[in-house]
Amino acid sequence: MDNFYTATVYSKDAEVIHMYNTLLGKAGFRKGMDLYFEHHDGSAVTFDEFRAAMADANGVDLDQFALWYSTPGTPTVTYSSSYDAVIGTFSLTLTQTSQSDKTLHIPVSVGLLDKETGEEVVPTVILQLTEASQTFDFPDLQGDVVPSILRDFSAPVKLVPEAGAEDQTALAFLAARDTDGFNKWEAGQKLYTSLIFQTLEGQQSETTLDFVMEAFGRTLLDKATTDYSIQAYALTLPGDSTLAEQMEVIDPVRIKKARGAIKQAIARKFQTELTTRYNELTEDMKDLEFQVDAESTGRRRLRNTLLEYLCGIKESPEEQKAAAELATAHFDNATGLTDKMAALSCLASMDGEGAQARDSALAKFYKDANGDALVLNKWFSGQALADLDDVLERVIALTEHPDFTMSNPNRCRSLISAFAMNAAPFHDESGKGYAFLGDVLEKLDGMNPQISSRMAGSLIQWRRYDEKRAALMKEQCERLLNMPGISDDMFEILNRGMK
């Protein structure tokens, strides 16, 4: 396999390989691989030779598909649909646009779900979009359907509805019922995002809220699935950084507040169901040996996701105590570092009645690490990413910890870079987070300019923020640029950011 990876690493990489697998199917892809190794094992090859092997092994023409290698940017596929109840035919029209002068060969995986029952009436089929616009008909249907388009992300394209705005009813349907894990997750993410931004703007829609709750509830209560990882991802809200990318002017504090409000609303509505499912998974895992197979990993991921929701219910002293006790039990009984870190992440953000449990867990984790560098890095990061009002003060104190040193790149990243990713405290309107990073970079640049220049990247996006934050970030950039003896690495990054 070494030759194969050598040949693909500098191409459009996994995107094109994934599409070959979609176009030809697993059996066809394997035939192509066998022929490829038969002809080229041990020699340097081009992607044209790889494509030829795939084409020859399967008796197909892949010349048009080869345009993917030379087409820059991300193509867009626009879709529209209609259902003719008289003849029972659903029609799906796909239109492509890209920076290529010629039309691409785009494999689009589609499945159809009955609009009334959610039953999958047409399993996944691969539509070969080879023209600028094509209409695909699905006859002999007994009722209207909801299309699940671009299943398993069958091609690296932007999929947009012809109508412009997403149909939230269809998104809710897919988020709750789709049998394709990727599309189920994607539909849910769009719904969550819409509701979070509505909340951020003070214009929350009850309809969108109902859609979110229905999708979350159906996913949570789905006991038939064995793909626990997909279930966990489908229950997880988009992160602060993902949401920030969709804002013209980023307001990290409002993002955090709105996301937190939705997360807590979900947790409170489904507290009983979350607790029941968490306890079921805990019981199922009680006597199992630690394993790293997909099912075991997914089960742990789902349980950790449920823990995070449950530990977010902590407004009253009684709730703080209950959340701390749950996270502590999870922490104490963890059989692997992933579970222990999931619990520690929850505990690190505890205050009030949970503060003692937080401090005890942090002390125990540190002691159990026994000086292991990688584990200690996680200990530092967990505290830097905590959701506490005084997290900056805690990070500053940790820079004086005996196990922290600026000269160790990984240790420095585990604390300083992690704090810079904790958007709300780092971007506090006071500018204290920016000033702290500026102080660190001033000391770090002489020790390790490669690391300091990378960390400086957290300051150069100042144009994306409001006027006050932008001015404070820019002030730190100018301060560092005027620093005597600034390294060429950091000067290059900051100077580019100021232009």
Q: Which tens digits make up the pLDDT trace of 349-360?
A: 999 999 999 999
7, pLDDT greater than 70:
no
Topology (CATH level 3) of domain 2-70: Neutral Protease; domain 2 (1.10.390)
Structure tokens at 47: 């992607």
User: Tell me, what's the pLDDT at 441?
Assistant: 97
Rounded to whole angstroms, the Cα distance separating 267 from 270 reads: 5
Which residues partner with 147 through β-bridges? 112
Burial class of residue 110, CB neighbours in 10 A (0-12, 13-18, 19+):
buried
User: Tell me, what's the pLDDT at 14?
Assistant: 72
Confidence class for position 333, pLDDT limits 50, 70, 90 = very high
Confidence class for position 314, pLDDT limits 50, 70, 90 = very high
CA nearest to 171, candidates 127, 228, 126, 234: 234
**Cβ pair 427, 392 in contact under 8 A:** no
Topology (CATH level 3) of domain 76-165: Immunoglobulin-like (2.60.40)
Q: Which tens digits make up the pLDDT trace of 363-395?
A: 999 999 999 999 999 999 999 999 999 999 999
Residue spans of the domains in the chain: they are: 2-70, 76-165, 370-499
User: Tell me, what's the pLDDT at 339?
Assistant: 96
Task: Tell me which CATH homologous superfamily contains domain 370-499.
Answer: Peptidase M1, alanyl aminopeptidase, C-terminal domain (1.25.50.10)
Confidence class for position 12, pLDDT limits 50, 70, 90 = low
Q: Which tens digits make up the pLDDT trace of 86-128?
A: 999 999 999 999 999 999 999 999 999 999 999 999 999 999 9
With both helix axes pointing from N to C terminus, report the angle between 355-369 and 373-384 in degrees, rounded to the nearest 10.
160
φ, ψ (nearest 5 deg) of residue 400: -100, 0
Q: Which tens digits make up the pLDDT trace of 336-350?
A: 999 999 999 999 999
User: Tell me, what's the pLDDT at 13?
Assistant: 61
